[in-house]
Each structure stands twice: as C-alpha cells, then as structure tokens.
Amino acid sequence: MRIAIVDESASRAAVIREGLAALNDCEIFVVTERRGLVARIGEIAPDIVLMDLGNPSRDVLEEYFAVSRVLGRPIAMFVDESDEESIAASVDAGVSSYVVDGLAPHRIRPILDLAVRRFNAFARLEADLAEAKGKLAEREVVDKAKRILMDSRGFSEPHAYAELRKTAMNQGKRIADIAEAVVTAHQLMGGK
C-alpha cells in the first residue's frame, strides 16, 4: 500500500513516518513542500493520504481529488459512518485522511490509528518542549533576581533565595513570579 504523508512540518512528518515504518507492505512518501503538491501526489499515486488539519493546502488537495482524472482512481475523504468515534479521534488529533475508492475500512483503520497515536505523541513532545523552555526561562529570572538582592542588599546567595521563597509563600505566589517582579522593579528603578 502506498501512503503519502502531507505535512509542512518536516519534524512531525518524520515522527509519523517512523511510526508507520513498522507496517508491513507499506511504502511511505513524505511531502512537505506546498509548491507542486498536487503534481507530486499525482506521481506518488497513493492509496492513502494523511494530512494535518492545519495544512492550508487541504482545500486544494480536496479539489484535486474531486476532479482528478489523472489519478484514474477516485480518492475521497475517509468517513467511516459505522465508526464515528475513530474519525472523531483523528479530528481531535489533528489529522485528516483520504483513501482510494474501494479500500476496505479494516485495512485503513490500523494505519489511521497509528497515525493518530503518532500525531498525539508529537503534540505531547511539543508541549513538553514548551514546558522545558519555560522552566529554563524561569531559572534564568530567579538567578537574575538573586543577583539583584545580593548586590543591593548584600545577601549571600542562599539568603537571597530564602528571601524570594519566603515572599512567595507569604503572598501565595510562585517563586518565579516574585523573581519576575524583582527584576521588573529593578529595571524600573534604573538598574540593568
């Protein structure tokens, strides 16, 4: 079976490709370029097309499927009315799928399920990355606030940290928020 993954995010496409690589008898093609997309799909002649919901070329591809005589085999959006739940899960995950006419749902579903899992895994990966980045930024701001307290009030480093922590506890806030306020106040007072 020939599967085309259409995704402008090369890293997500790679994650999905890797997930589908385990399938037997499947040849996988990744298309990340918008330009020439329709011609490329024509060359690939896929049995299944997986496309992310955020892709601006979806309408263009659907139009191509609707009118294409080049393909010879009509392709349509995969909507299995007997299995609303799995289609809803794929929309939730952010993936749409198009399949060639006549392909049995039981052959499509395992592929779609895998793709959905991979889309979800990628979304989690991105969320983790964003959180890690946020934590790093927080650590930086806490370090800055400590330095300000050490310089302006002659505290030792542990003392400066204890002061930030005490204030946060008293005000029911996070240490990072208090540190942020210290840094902002310092900047307002003309500090660097």
Cβ 55 to another protein shortest distance, Å? 7
CB of 50 to another protein, least distance (A): 14
Among 25, 56, 101, 190, binds another protein (CB under 8 A): 56
124 lies in the binding site for another protein (CB under 8 A): no
123 interacts with another protein by CB under 8 A: no
Strand-pairing partners, residue 52, are 95
Dist. CA 140–CA 176, nearest whole Å: 9
Q: How far is residue 60's CA from residue 52's CA, in Å, rounded to a whole number?
A: 14
Stretch that binds another protein, among 16-24, 79-87, 133-141, 168-176 (CB under 8 A): 79-87
- Give the span between the Cα atoms of 123 and 95, in whole angstroms: 12
Considering only residues 81 through 110, tell me which ones interact with another protein, judged by CB under 8 A: 81, 87-88, 91-92, 96
CA distances from 61 to 81, 100, 190 (A): 22, 14, 56
| Site for another protein contains 53 (CB under 8 A) | yes
Q: Which two tokens stand for residue 107?
A: 């052959």
Strands (E), 10-156: 27-31, 48-52, 75-77, 95-100
The amino acid present at 54, given as its one-letter code, is: G
Which part of the chain contacts another protein (CB under 8 A), choosing from 42-50, 57-65, 118-126, 164-172? 57-65
Site residues, another protein (CB under 8 A): 34-35, 53-60, 62-64, 66-67, 76-77, 79, 81, 87-88, 91-92, 96
